[in-house]
Amino acid sequence: MKGQGVEAWIDEILSRMTLREKIGQMCQVNGALKEPEELIRKGEVGAFLNVVDPETCNRYQRIAMEKSRLGIPLLMGRDVIHGFRTVFPIPLGQAASWHPELIEEAASIAAKEASSMGINWTFAPMVDVARDPRWGRIAEGGGEDPYLTSQLGRAMVRGFQGEDLSTPDRIAACAKHYVGYGAAEGGRDYNTALIPEGTLRDVYLLPFRACVEAGVASLMSAFNEINGIPATGNEFTLRRILKGEWEFDGFVVSDWGAIAEMVVHGFCSDEKEATFSAIKAGVDMEMASQCYHSHLEKLIDEGRVPIEWIDDAIRRILRIKFRLGLFENPYVNTSRKSNLLALKYLEVARKLARESVVLLKNKDQVLPLSDEVRTLAVIGPMADRPTDQMGCWTFDGRPEDVITPLKAILEKFSRKGEVFFAPGLENPRSESKKGFEEAVRAVRKADVVLLFLGEDANLSGEARCRAFLDLPGSQVELVKAISQEGKPVVAVIMTGRPLTLTDMVEKVDALMIAWHPGTMGGLALAELLFGEDSPSGKLPVTFPRTEGQIPIYYAHKNTGRPPQQVDRMAPMGTPIDFVGFFSGYLDVEPTPLYPFGFGLSYTNFKYENLRISSLPDYRTFGFSLSSERIHLGEGLTILVDLQNLGPYAADEVVQLYVRDIVGSVTRPVKELKGFQRVHLEPGERRTIRFTLHTDDLRFYNRDMEFVAEPGRFHLWVGGSSIEGLQAMFEIIE
């Protein structure tokens, strides 16, 4: 049954439903609820969350299908954020791979594992653009850039849902948190967001629109308010943009208790008014709290809520249940062999962990470790902490499944040499230095030091916001103590966010960011350290030098007095003679510690011969080396030659950036418009091709029209946001 047939079938069910049954479909209850069977039997619940047992799921579904009056199946929701039993790197780490196809495969594996346990709906992907690393939930998304985050979101939606959502091993995705949650003031979770409409549309809404275009089944309204209106009661973003402009035909679920929280926001006087605001705005299902269950019927009786709002919500919910195939087959096949932790799943986890690692420093090519190394000191509180290695939001991962760096290094190196292990600190937050002496003794016996540092899993994720972003505990002091011994030091940082590493980066010879890399992270790191593969990750978010620079991101505006690289001192002039008066700080450089898109390799890549053309067949017509003119509605072809000059086979992420030099509203100094992950053997040379249409350059002007404007543009192709070959083109009417 498809198209109009499905809609007619939904209308037929709607015509038979009582008001209580309709409201029941709009309620999602916590799986911890005692004795929910009667609610199911009466048709007063439409979805559960956190029921993770196939027998229980089947029992609930059987009651819904066979004992309730209408036989409507249940949605079973769960946070499957970066894997189920097989845990992949946190989403911010996955974004560092710049590899959408591999991210899609990881989400597909998560769906296979989760569906085998009765889950048919997940609250992922999180596609909040986040430009403040103090915000703990930056770990759950794609970083600071709307284009990259959009690619991550699309990939995860495709992975979870597949081409046919009714396939038994697929689950419905839920793009969250709609919208502006990543712009929470001060990086404080749940906080206010003040976002001009143009920025809202150009930056924060863009990844959600990408998910809608990819067919995402549901969206989750956010906890935060946007310009004074809570996201869960925001008609502008929900009814007008999402359901109106974008014609989204799935359903919207609130975040946990977010409807009731509109009272605490000061937006609604009580939970009844919060219920009215949420349904009026377009929230179709309530998660966890009981506002809809308690107040919707009364609001309808009073004539304040038209039944059309309710029927629209039910149509959306039933539509997704049909697309999931739940009316035909709501049950889990408990007789099939478990697919948890399949070898092919672990291989994908290992590969994604390896590709997510970003090499930020490699002084004198200390990495990969030389064959001449015979003794290693493995130091640091993150070397052997399986739970922390998995990161936040890993309800179903198990520490006994995790391969830690220490375990992997011992297995790989034991036949070749000797490993001396000393954690130095009891845990990542420990202030005690009583383990330093043992660590220093291990260092003195070693040729090279491998130092594993970072955040424990509980320092990132929801409500895990930090005012200071340095390494916690006495880790910086541990780095200083180790570095004084004069041995080559390789630091590997496991973290859920960018950290301010200024105090330690000069004291180590090599620096890797491994994020929280998941089940296979230790093996992936060992393979990189020993040169079995080359690091290829690129930063999806800027690393600041200090918290005082925040927010700092590559796609900033230029201002009338852009930052300058000068000696940090008081301005040399006066407000009248303003030598040195520019946008910046007296006490810190205007540049980040490490920029967006940056990441080193064990080899060297050479970019050359950038050329652009408005003509599709460059073999016949040739290319301009400097500039090109195109009309609105046309496109550019961009070519660049890339060569691997070094001795290692490696991947490079080739990045395309554009700047609209003059706009009717000012535009960022750079915007990512494309990227490609390219594998090159030593000495190999390849021509990389991009296409760029004028539609890719659209933005919302001062009248909120989505337009591309005539004018001149700069274009860069390179290996990060701060380097690359440059060209210019012009759009004419």
pTM: 0.97
Q: Assign 3-class secondary structure to 700-731.
A: ECCCCCEECCCEEEEEEEEEECCEEEEEEEEE
Q: From 496, 503, 561, 551, select the one nearest 138 (Cα to Cα).
A: 496
Q: What is 22-323's CATH topology?
A: TIM Barrel (3.20.20)
Domain ranges of the chain: 22-323, 351-529, 553-591, 605-732
pLDDT in tens, 245-297: 999 999 999 999 999 999 999 999 999 999 999 999 999 999 999 999 999 99
Using CA atoms, how far apart are residues 538 and 718, in angstroms rounded to an integer? 12
Using CA atoms, how far apart are residues 324 and 236, in angstroms rounded to an integer? 29
Q: Which two tokens stand for residue 163?
A: 């081409």
Question: Tell me, what amino acid is at 20?
Answer: R
Using CA atoms, how far apart are residues 165 and 143, in angstroms rounded to an integer? 28
- Residue 424's H or E segment, with its range, is none
pLDDT in tens, 136-156: 999 999 999 999 999 999 999
CA atoms within 13 A on the CB side of 213: 12
Burial of 290 (0-12, 13-18, 19+ CB in 10 A): middle
CA angle centred on 370, ends 540 and 654, rounded to 5°: 25
Q: CB of 729 within 8 A of CB of 630?
A: yes
pLDDT at site 431: 98
Supply the Cα-derived Rg of the chain in whole angstroms: 27
Angle formed by the axes of helices 291-301 and 307-323, to 10°? 140
Q: What is 351-529's CATH topology?
A: Rossmann fold (3.40.50)
Which position has the token pair 């479909």?
25
| Residue partners of 490: CB distance under 8 A and separation at least 6 | 366, 367, 369, 448, 449, 450, 451, 508, 509, 510, 511, 512, 529
pLDDT at site 521: 98
Within this chain, domains 22-323 and 351-529 share the same CATH topology: no
The whole-number mean pLDDT for each consecutive block of 10 residues of the chain, a chain of 733 residues, reads 80 97 97 88 97 96 98 98 98 98 98 98 98 98 98 98 97 98 98 98 98 98 98 98 98 98 98 98 98 98 98 98 97 89 98 98 98 97 98 98 98 94 98 98 98 98 98 98 98 98 97 98 98 98 98 97 71 66 88 98 98 63 63 96 97 98 98 98 98 98 98 98 97 95
Q: Which two tokens stand for residue 58?
A: 């089947």
pLDDT at site 343: 98
pLDDT at site 445: 98
Using CA atoms, how far apart are residues 500 and 604, in angstroms rounded to an integer? 27
Q: CB of 568 within 8 A of CB of 586?
A: yes
pLDDT at site 563: 84
Dihedral of the alpha carbons of 662, 665, 671, 674, in degrees to the nearest 10: -90
Strand order in the sheet with 358-362: 358-362, 510-513, 489-494, 448-454, 375-379, 418-422
Q: Which CATH number fits domain 605-732: 3.30.200.20, 3.40.50.1100, 3.60.15.10, 2.60.40.10?
A: 2.60.40.10
pLDDT at site 571: 59
Q: Which two tokens stand for residue 406?
A: 């220490």
Q: CB of 579 within 8 A of CB of 522?
A: no
Q: Which two tokens stand for residue 93?
A: 């780490």
Pairing of strands 635-644, 605-613: antiparallel
Dihedral of the alpha carbons of 115, 121, 124, 125, in degrees to the nearest 10: 90
pLDDT at site 634: 95
Using CA atoms, how far apart are residues 9 and 70, in angstroms rounded to an integer? 13
CA distances from 711 to 660, 682, 732 (A): 8, 41, 7
Q: CB of 320 within 8 A of CB of 215?
A: no
pLDDT at site 2: 59
Instruction: Reduce the DSSP state of residue 377 to 3 states and report it.
Output: strand
Catalytic residue of the set 202, 255, 384, 401: 255
- 255 assigned to active site: yes
Give, rounded to a whole angstrom, the gap between the first and last alpha carbons of the chain: 47
Q: What is the DSSP string of 518-580?
A: -TTHHHHHHHHHTTSS------SS-B-SSGGG-S--TT----SS------SSS-SS-SSS-TT
Q: CB of 148 within 8 A of CB of 95?
A: yes
Indicate if the alpha-carbon torsion angle 473, 132, 223, 671 is positive or negative.
negative
Using CA atoms, how far apart are residues 59 and 38, in angstroms rounded to an integer? 13
Q: From 457, 539, 464, 458, select the one nearest 142 (Cα to Cα).
A: 539
CA angle centred on 133, ends 594 and 479, rounded to 5°: 60
